[in-house]
Amino acid sequence: MAELGCDYGARLCMPTRQWELMRAEVDAKSPEEACGFLAGTGQCVLAVVPVTNKLHSPVRYQMDPLEQLSAFQKIEQAGYELLGIYHSHPNGPDMPSATDIAEAYYPDVIYIIWYRSSHMWGCRGFTIREGIVNSVGIQVIQDK
C-alpha cells in the first residue's frame, strides 16, 4: 500500500455541470470501471471526455486507444490542456490501487478516483509522481 500524503499546491476546480456529467458517466458504466479525461485551463475543468474501458472489467480499466486519440484531439482543438484522468472503483478502494500507481504515466495531471460508499458515489483526487501518492483537493463550484 502506498503512503498517502497531501499535495497542498495542487487542486482541481470543477463546475457543477462537469462534476455531474462525470458522476452520471461513472454511475451508468457501473459495475464496470468507467474512465476518461478532464480538460480545461489552469486548474479549472471545462470538459469531461469519457472513454470506453475496453476491458469492460469491474476491477481494471484500459482506455480504448482510438477513443483516447480522439479525446486528445478534441482537447487540443478546444485549446484546452489535459488536467486529469478519472476512473471508478465500483467496489472500492477510495484511493489508487497498486496497478493505478504503476500505470500513472502522466505526472502532471490529477487522478480522480470515484468509489462507492454506502451505495453513494464518492470522489477523491490525487497526484501520482514516481510512485508517490498525494491527496488533492477538488472544489466543485456553481455554474455561471
Q: Is the pLDDT of residue 3 over 80?
A: no
Q: Please, which pLDDT band fits residue 117 given cuts at 50, 70 and 90? A: confident
Q: Is the peptide bond before 15 cis (omega within 30 degrees of 0)?
A: no
Structure confidence at residue 142 (pLDDT): 86
Q: What is the SS3 assignment for 32?
A: coil
Share of the chain above pLDDT 90, in %: 85
Give CA 102 to chain center in angstroms.
16
* Chain segment 28-37, per-residue pLDDT in tens: 999 999 999 9
Which residues are known catalytic residues? 33
**Which class in CATH covers the domain with range 4-141?**
alpha beta
Between CA 3 and CA 7 the distance in angstroms is 13
Mean pLDDT on 12-16: 92
* C-alpha cell belonging to residue 112: 480522480
Mean pLDDT on 46-58: 97
Structure confidence at residue 5 (pLDDT): 45
What residues contact residue 117 under an 8 Å CB cut-off, 6+ apart? 94
Give residue limits of the domains in the chain: 4-141
Structure confidence at residue 92 (pLDDT): 85
* Chain segment 69-108, per-residue pLDDT in tens: 999 999 999 999 999 999 999 998 999 999 999 999 999 9
Between CA 8 and CA 5 the distance in angstroms is 9
Q: What is the DSSP letter of 42?
A: T
- Residue 65 to residues 22, 51, 62, 78: CA-CA distances in angstroms? 20, 9, 9, 20
Q: State if pTM tops 0.95.
A: no
CB 7 within 8 A of CB 129: no
Q: Is the pLDDT of residue 8 over 90?
A: no
CB 126 within 8 A of CB 104: no
Between CA 97 and CA 125 the distance in angstroms is 13
